[in-house]
Amino acid sequence: MFAGAATSAGAHGWMGGYYYGGHSGGWHRGWAPFAVGAVVGVAIANAYYRPAPLYYGTQYVYLPPTQTAAYCPENGLYYPQTQACPSGWQRVNY
């Protein structure tokens, strides 16, 4: 952007607010070279010195398998020993 502005200003004889032939200052000796250098420097430094992105992987937690059984409190038996439980089954970990 700055390079395009400097090129078009030089082509028309207009330099930093002053006519090229009327004043010996303006665009080339003012703040513009510093500004262009600063913008380019920041862009280059940001491209080369940016820290690497951090990637967090999925963490897996091992849970041992739990074994459960169906217990019928009414008759005091577990599922394969009795097929029906009128009061409802209770799940028991063992």
pLDDT tens across 43-94, in order? 888 777 777 788 888 888 888 888 999 999 998 999 989 899 998 999 998 8
Q: Can you give the residue range of the structural domain that contains 92?
A: 65-94
pTM of the model: 0.33
* pLDDT given at position 78: 92
Same domain for 42 and 14: yes
Establish if 35 belongs to a structural domain: yes
Say whether both 74 and 44 belong to one domain.
no
The reply to whether 57 falls in a domain is no
Pairing mode of beta strands 14-15, 18-19 = antiparallel
In a domain, 84, yes or no: yes
Q: Number of folded domains in the chain?
A: 2
- Is residue 55, in this structure, part of any structural domain at all? no
pLDDT of residue 41: 85
Residue 76 in any domain: the answer is yes
Cα separation, 14 vs 8, in Å, equals 8
